[in-house]
Structure 1
């Protein structure tokens, strides 16, 4: 749960940076450089441990994961410059529901009612927050972003399968490599040279993104995918804090009420999962 919490904090900051960069550069160029920077910042770790330490036990799985994740990112980056931050955050919360369904259908995880209750209550909290201001500001691009959710869910499910044979470090490195390679053709067609300031921001996105994916991969390697998903709803709180810090957006009563609902559902499922794990190992 704590690894998932950390990933949410990191991805909130990452999304704020990427939305800014995608409004300045072509979205495909932004996607390519973000993951290229992710591969670049991992080079010191690869150099220190040696290439053998980062050789995957099954290259085909890494390539499939990279292809699926790239497909979702293509849709996400097309929409992200045009969809308001609140709407983007809310639409992203549909991914856990696809993940929980897929974990049951494809990974054989048990259909635990408590996890579904926590996820649905958390999603209800999200609706409380965004419903007063969610007016479809992204227009048709909101549907484009929504279409990315099942692809991201499929990517996370493949990641869960990969954690059975590869370490989180290996998975993160190969994600950066494969997405960079698969994104390159479209990026070259729309290529524009970034400014020095934009290069620095891309390097920062590489560091934040790699750290976020490591935390995410670590979380789903330690627990059932469906058990970790309700924690994702806390990202709405982090997004509200970032909005206040960067754009001086004060959270209203709906945000506070929705945040309380999200916090309650997340805390309840975390305590329940911890208790069940202690009973199982006792």
Structure 2
């Protein structure tokens, strides 16, 4: 174990995922969501295969015991990714990132519903605090004042990112079952493969020819996504999940900087206060799960999209 290296790898992964999201956001006005999902997944595949080969895990990465389990994980995760990518066209990057952290809160609830996990007052209170933080972030979007197309677009963005969070939480629950019989390398590989195949189904619905700049951004998103996945997974080889997982919330800091520098997005006080509360609640849940000795091996296979 080397906790410092694990934390560093997590921070690198989160930073790369944040830049990847910015690349997708920069193309959202012209490139359809399904096409963006294709580039994110297909370009990442060679990176993941090379990584598995370097680790000596290529055989286990291709071997499956539960093919339909991988398909359902891929379908749920791809839906989460698509909804998240679509939301980037309607909301500022920091808001999408902050609201997206609803997923770990929902995972606690879904674990009780679908896995029979005992969830007591402490974690339920933390979830309630986190959801209050989400409501604070959303409050300006929920007001009846302002009206107009911009407000309608923002409301759609909120629904998309909340939908993404629900499917990300469901994906995490599904992975917790899948890791009981499948290797992490197989889960990572077949998710990218399934997402690539599913995204191709959107081809008849209006893919476009990207500009040269958009093509570079889409290819870059795929490469960064694949590399970030490797750093994310590797971080758990050097430190326990309870040590590195809180640093996942650094995504909000990265999103604030990128949103301001690239997209001229100035965070509102509601967003800053709500994000702080969400982070506090998330760290409370991670700390409590560590106290309870709950294993979160599913974390290493998760991405911001599912």
TM-score normalized by the length of structure 1: 0.76
Alpha-carbon distance in 2 for matches of 1:252, 1:90: 12
1:210 to 222, 226, 232: 226
Q: Cα gap change, 1:271/1:69 in structure 2, threshold over 3 Å: closer, same or farther?
A: closer
Alpha-carbon distance in 2 for matches of 1:6, 1:262: 22
Q: Cα gap change, 1:75/1:149 in structure 2, threshold over 3 Å: closer, same or farther?
A: same
Q: Cα gap change, 1:118/1:6 in structure 2, threshold over 3 Å: closer, same or farther?
A: farther
Compute the displacement of 1:106 (Å): 1.6
Q: Deviations over 1:32-76 (max 9, x none)?
A: 111111213223224443642312232221111112223344444
Q: Cα gap change, 1:239/1:34 in structure 2, threshold over 3 Å: closer, same or farther?
A: same
User: The residue matched to 1:164 in structure 2 has which SS?
Assistant: coil
Structure 1's unaligned 5+ residue stretches are: none
Compute the displacement of 1:133 (Å): 6.6
Alpha-carbon distance in 2 for matches of 1:144, 1:260: 22
Structure-2 residue corresponding to 1:111: 119
Structure-2 residue corresponding to 1:172: 188
1:58 to 60, 66, 76: 66
Compute the displacement of 1:175 (Å): 0.6
Q: Deviations over 1:173-203 (max 9, x none)?
A: 1110001011112125423333443333233
2:27 to 21, 31, 39: 21
Aligned length: 274
1:39 to 45, 49, 55: 45
Structure 2's unaligned 5+ residue stretches are: 1-5, 144-150, 295-306
Alpha-carbon distance in 2 for matches of 1:253, 1:108: 38
Alpha-carbon distance in 2 for matches of 1:141, 1:255: 15
1:239 to 252, 255, 258: 255
Alpha-carbon distance in 2 for matches of 1:102, 1:40: 33
Alpha-carbon distance in 1 for matches of 2:176, 2:128: 22
Alpha-carbon distance in 1 for matches of 2:163, 2:276: 28
Q: Cα gap change, 1:69/1:230 in structure 2, threshold over 3 Å: closer, same or farther?
A: same
Q: Cα gap change, 1:183/1:270 in structure 2, threshold over 3 Å: closer, same or farther?
A: closer
Q: Give the conservation status (yes or no) of the 8 Å contact 1:26–1:190.
A: yes
Show the 5 A alignment for 1:92-241.
92-132=100-140, 136=151, 137-213=153-229, 215=232, 235-241=251-257
Structure-1 residue corresponding to 2:297: none
Alpha-carbon distance in 2 for matches of 1:67, 1:76: 14
Q: Give the conservation status (yes or no) of the 8 Å contact 2:29–2:89.
A: yes
Alpha-carbon distance in 1 for matches of 2:168, 2:103: 7
Alpha-carbon distance in 1 for matches of 2:14, 2:245: 11
